[in-house]
Structure 1
Amino acid sequence: MNKFLSLCFLGILLSACNAQTEPPAAPELIRGVSFVATRNAITDEIVKPLLNYNANYVAVHPYGFMRDLENPAVIHNSERQWWGERVDGTTATIETFQSKGLKVMLKPQIWIGRGIYTGTIDMPDDSRWDTLEVTYEKFILDYAQVAQNTNVAMFCIGTELESFVAARPEFWNRLIQKIRAIYKGKLTYAGNWDSYKNVPFWDQMDYIGVDAYFPVSDQKTPDVSSAMEGWKKWMVELSSLSRKHDKKILFAEYGYVSADYAGKEPWLTADETRESNEEAQKHLLQAQYDLVWKQDWFAGGFLWKHHSEYGRRGFEKRFTPQDKLAQQTVSDAYGAMKPKE
C-alpha cells in the first residue's frame, strides 16, 4: 500500500513539473477591422458583416475637427457631427460591439479641413500651440473617460501626428500621465509608416502602433510572392524596434486600395488615372497575412476600413474590401488565425 501511494505521489509530482515547464500559450492575435462611424444610431444589422470577417476586435473612430492650420482648435462632440462621432454615439457603438463579443480599440482622430495631412501640424507661435494643446487634451481625455466607462480593451492616444509629437514632447508626456490616471487598459499610439521609429514615448505604451502603409511593390498587379519579398526590409526594421522596446508591433491601420499599383504608395487613394484592380488588393493582403502576421513580434492589426451604410459603399477603388475579392481573403485569413478550440 505504501509503495502504491509513493508511486501515485511521484506521478503527481512529475505531472506538476511538466505543467510548470510548458511554455505559456501565445496571446491571441488581434484580428481587427476599422469601423466608419454611422450617421444615425447603430443597429445589430450593422454589426453582422464585421462578424463575417472572423474579427475579434473593432476600432471605433470618433473625430475631432480643425478648420485649418491657422485655426488649430480641435472641435469635438458637436451637434453638427454624425451620431457615431459624438460621445453618446461612440459609447452606444462600443457597447453594441461588445454585446456581440467584439473587443474594441477606441481611436479618436483629428480631421483637418481640406484633408490636410495631420503629420504636418506645426504652429508658428506659442499662443497657437497652447490652443492646440488645450483643445487636443480635452478631446483625448473626454474619450479616455469613455474608454474607461465602457471598459474597452485598448485606447489609441493619437494618430499620425509626427510634427506635433516632435515639437512638443513634454506635452505628450503630461498627456500620457493624465490618460493613465483615467483609463486603466492598454495604450498605443498610431505612428505613420515613415515616422513611427521616431516616436519618443514608446516605452510608455503597451503596443508600438504603426499605420502600416509600407511600399512593397511597383507592379500593377503584384503576385503574393513578390509582395512578400517587398516586405522583408520593413520586417527587419519593425522587429528591431520591437526588440529595442520589448513591445509587440500592432498595425493600428493596414490595407490597400483595390486599384492598379496598390502596393507602390499604399497610403494614397486611387485617382482617375488608376484602374480598378481587385486582384492587386487581394494579393497584397494575402502576402501580409502569409508573412508579417506569423512573426512572434507581431500583435495583429486593424483593417482599414469597413463602411456601415450602403449609401457610402460605392467606392470601387477605395480601401474597403466590402463586396470585393479581398473580403473573402480577410475572412479566410482571420478564420485561420482563430485559436483552436
Structure 2
Amino acid sequence: MLSLLRPLPVACCLYLLLLLLPGGQGRIPAYNNGFHYQDISNGNGNGEIYFNGVRLHVESPEPAVSATRGSSVTLPCHYHYEPELATPRRTRVKWSWLPANTISAPVSPAASARETEVMVAMGNRHRSYGSFRGRVRLRRSAPGDMSLVINELQLNDTGRYRCEVIDGLEDESVTVELELRGVVFPYHSQEGRYRFNFFGAHQACQDQDATLATFEQLFTAWEEGLDWCNAGWLADGTVQYPITDPREGCGGVDLAPGLRTYGQRHHLLRYDAFCFSAAVKGTVYFLKHPVKLNFTEAVRACASDGSAIAKVGQLYAAWRLMGLDRCDAGWLADGSVRYPITKARANCGPPEPGVRSFGFPPWNLKFGVYCYR
C-alpha cells in the first residue's frame, strides 16, 4: 500500500492540474503533427476530443488483382489528404501479406490473422523482407502513389496484401487480394486413395510443382465444372470435394450441386489432395521418339533432349493455360501416365476436355513421355 502513496512527478501533477481547471481553461503544449484537434467543453468540465482538420485517406481502385506466375504485377494503393496539403509530408508506408496457402493450420484465430512484412519505406529509404527481398518496389508514378510492384511472381505469393500509410497519429490502410491464374486438380498417392495426411498432401502438391488449393480456388474450379467424388485436403486444413452432378455416394441425389465439406479435420487423418498449379515459365511437350518407353527410359529420353520429365502440375497448367492438346498417353515425373485434351474427339476419352489419367501403371510398361523445358 505504501507504494501507492509514492509522490507523483511534478510534470505529471502539472498535467493533471491543467486538465482539472474549470471550464476546460487549462492549456497544455500540444504535439503538432499537422493535424488539428479541438477540445469541446460540455459545461461540466469534461471535454470531447474530435478531429476537425486534415484527414488521411488510403484507397485502392482494385480490391483484387490476378496475374500469371513468373510475371510482374502491381497492387494499387494511393493516399491523399482532405483538404489537400500545401506542402508534402513525410509519411511511412508498410506493405504486409497474409498468405493464401499455409503449411499448417493456425492454433488460434489470432494466429490465423498474423501478417508477414513485405516492404517498409519512408522517403527514399526502403527495405524488403523474406522471399520478397529484391523482388518488390514502390511504383511512385504520382504524388501519393504507394502501389507495390512484385516481380517474378511465385506460386506462393497469393494472398491478401495490406497497404498501410502512417503519418504521425494517423494510420490508415487498405487491402488488395492477389490471385494467380491457374488450375485445380485432384491428386492421390501411388499407393491408392486417401493416403495423405495434411502434411503429406502439402508435400505431394509441392512435388508436382503446385500448392494445396485454397477454398476460393476450389470454388472457382467447381464453378468452371470440376466434379470429383473423392474428398481432399485444402490449404486451410479443411477437407472438401466439388460436385456438379449430384449422385449417390457423393452426398446423395437430394443435395444441390456445390462443395461438400467435412470441415476442419485432424491433420493426421488421411484423404486425397486438391492441388493448384499456375502457369509454367517453360514449355511442356510430348517427346517425339521412334519407340515407346518404360519409365526409366522416359526419364533418360527427356534428359537427352535437354529437358526434364514433366510434373503433373506442369501438364495441367500447360493444358489449361496454354492449350496443350495431345491424344498420346505419356509418362510423368510421379510415375503416372496421362494426356491432355482441349478438344474432345473420338478415341481420346470422354466427351469433355480434361487431362486423362491411366493411373500409376507398372514402370516396365511402354508409353510416350511428356517433357518440360
Q: TM-score band (shorter)?
A: under 0.3
Please state which structure has a larger fraction of its residues in strand.
Answer: 2
How does the TM-score come out when normalised to structure 1?
Answer: 0.26
How does the TM-score come out when normalised to structure 2?
Answer: 0.24
**Relative contact order, CA 8 A, sep 6+: which one is greater?**
1
